[in-house]
Structure 1
């Protein structure tokens, strides 16, 4: 029965995962976020420093305000306009996939997005609201980057370009070669902007937000959708596929938008609107030893391990596991295609997701504050930083770690016993 079930899962999931992994748009989306990640983390670090706990009670109100104002540009120039970096990254990576001039793919995506973006703020024209450049404008930016890169590629492949003589410097030649494709691409986006100005939506951004972003964000912020996402991550990993990359390609735009809403509320000192955000998943699930929270497995190996195989694996995996790198455990235990551990591998993250969600929804633990904590940050510190320097975040991670250990205990015990008996037989023979 187990064999048939495993075969059915493999036949169903592997083709889907393979298509997702090789899809050029999802790959460009994933890589686009990777381009923006260092800048996002930089801004998040300074949000944490600017809101250091108890600092407001240690110095005067005026000094505290001056301190925050001095550090404010770090997040304003990165987190608040993170959408711009993602858009450039997507346009660049998609054009690179087509072996075109990637830099022009990036800048045409950015220019197209800015053409579609409203340039009026509180009646003042020529001003772009920063909210439109952050996670709020992310969905429009993603679609714009895909479409603009495809249009640019289309015009280049049609050879609608200006060819310069052989003696012209390369940079100049490439610039003129890109002129007509970029002009045609941006002209199309300008026409789209003008057409939408005559509709009830007024702007493309309002259309995207109303029709696509708002419904998806509401769906993605709920517990059921989060459980589905977490389960898919675990199932893909079980079959040897990087579940985090595959699932994040779909959910990241939603989670980042929710994250940005929390960050704005946190900086304004108002109630945080969302529980599920990018950092909810990254800190309270992945940030506990990697996907599947395998730091608990390492701890358990040191607690109950008798077999030499598991003991050596624990020593090998511990240094990396502390920093949320768990490939030694995934491939060494092994977790991939191992029916002995499929139950704790799937159940533990779901249980932790539910516990974390209700701990935050009931007010026991503050929701994630919107800061992006580097994924290699060790457990406890990770939870503390993710919740805006709240000690409850670290305590919740510790509790979750104990819960995962309890779930894994009987299954790891069986595995350890099996390994130990095999090692004993080998010694006797």
Structure 2
């Protein structure tokens, strides 16, 4: 364990842009309602009929930057970052000194796709916009740099892009920066814009559900992707003094199982290891976990392995510990998934309850997790466990705690 691992890291502000709306309030309100189905992806679903996505509505999409240079993922991230900064009440000097750490799996690759409806990133249009003319080469993983430039932050700027665990690893980096005294304030988040090549690729892998994202449902047939951005303001105890807080990041951990390029290790050894390491750093055990936000992608392998991991980590308490299946509401937001889960954990801690899950048509007996579906569930224990896993065996777990100082 790191010598500075006990230093408090507080969440003082949040922001979100998702298929549920353009703000964190809209996100939380949407989690209280019935989930809307994913929608066709213009320019792709016509050719790959099984592909749908949880897309940010055009009316809720962020305005472009004045110079028109930002792609879709960066605009989502900037909108969420501005909301988070306002929510935390950061003054101009604090913003200027802040670090920015953003995770993204796809980055701005959507703006480099050619064909009908595949240039919306560059002209402020939606999924059906006309492609922009070819220009000089630009990096795909520029979301963090774009947020820092638009907000005029001068702290460390880092983009993390290791697939669907990207914003989880980014969160660990941000926490380490605060605990080591390298930053007092970090804008931490994840962002994705719909990109057609990855969606078509998952269809070819046979890993796409043509109906909806249905984690832990016996009828699930794969995952369904979503887009948007989630940003949190992380602060040291000194910087957070006098501010309302959502809670604290108590423990983070990561591991790599290197079992297979895409499939999870069926033994789950490294997934168990990373969850236990996060709990150890948080100084808590299974009895302290009030909710789990699982990775829960809706693929057959992931959901079964994750249940087995939770059974190993939580022991007999697995049957009584409620899970919140976030991806059933917003889809698999890839590199932004852990950031969305962290925002969800912060909102649960503030409101003291877990929203009802999307009802399952038929629970899978191979993964009999507890998914309350009849109404909100009180958050009886103060800690929320968050998992995020990725291709290549990148694994992340976080423990989030209440706002007590």
Structure having greater relative contact order (Cα 8 Å, sep ≥ 6): 2
TM-score by length of 2: 0.29
* Higher helix content, 1 or 2: 1
* Higher strand content, 1 or 2: 2
Radius of gyration: which is bigger? 1
